[in-house]
Structure 1
Amino acid sequence: MIEPRLSSEFFITALLKKVNQEGGFGAVIRKGDRISGSILVICVEKGENPRLLEKMPMLDGSSMWQKIWPQDIEKQQNLDEYLARRTKFDPDIWLIELDIPDAERLIAEMGQ
């Protein structure tokens, strides 16, 4: 049986409201599929130190937010190039940017 889950658009709306309530800034950079589009989140602090998170499915059926960029030094590439390749591969993907301290914690709390 498939477990019910929030639509991508609903989750993003709630996340942006939470970021705003905590004094940060969040913006939708690219809209994806309203119901089931994958979500990529660029986390920055005062516009610096970008990290890219994605909700990844686990073997037990749950999901977990994982940092997917920056990668290891040998594999590291420009973030813009990576995002262009991902959106070309998956046109239904959402891209969100959050500028708030400890964005990873906030996203993890929202995902529970």
Structure 2
Amino acid sequence: MQADRLTSAMLIGVLVRRAAAAGGFATILVKGDEISGVILVQAVEKGRESGLFERVPNLDGGYRLARCGPDPAEGGEALSQYIARRRRSDPDLWIIELDIAEAERFAAETIC
């Protein structure tokens, strides 16, 4: 029997509320499947892109954030193209922009 787990929509909601409470900002760029959509976090700090991260399962049954997509130095066009490819192959994925100090760590603490 599978253990109960939080839905993607619940995890995103927690991330948005927790970011606001910590003085940051989170915005849902693409809304995915409410139950089990893949979550991508676009990490930003003070308006500067610091990477794109995907919530992936790890070997102990939990989750972790894994860097994905182009390097931020490649620019916004490369990121847009990557996201367009991902959305074509998985229309159920979520994309959230998280603008807060240490966004990757913050997201990992919240949704993993």
In which range does the TM-score fall when normalised by the shorter chain?
A: 0.7 to 0.9
How many residues are aligned here? 108
What are structure 1's unaligned runs of at least 5 residues? none
Per the alignment, residue 5 of structure 1 pairs with: 5
Instruction: Give the equivalent residue in structure 1 for 2:46.
Output: 46
Q: Which residue in the other structure is 1:65 paired with? A: 65
Residue 93 of structure 1 is matched in structure 2 by 93
* Higher deviation after alignment, 81-90 or 46-55: 46-55
Following superposition, the deviation at residue 3 of structure 1 comes to: 2.2
Report the identity percentage.
44
Which SS does the other structure have where 2:65 is aligned?
strand
More helix by share: 2
- Counterpart of 1:66 in structure 2: which amino acid? A
Q: Secondary structure at the match of 1:35?
A: coil
Give the distance between the partners of 1:102 and 1:25, measured in 2 at CA.
12
Which letter does structure 2 place at the counterpart of 1:9?
A
Give me the CA root mean square deviation.
1.7
Q: Report the Cα offset of residue 111 of structure 1.
A: 2.9
Q: Could you state the TM-score of these two structures normalised by the residue count of structure 2? A: 0.87
Listed one character per residue, the Cα deviations across residues 83-107 of structure 1 (whole Å, up to 9, x for unaligned) are: 0000000000001001111011111
* Larger mean Cα displacement after TM superposition, 95-104 or 54-63: 54-63
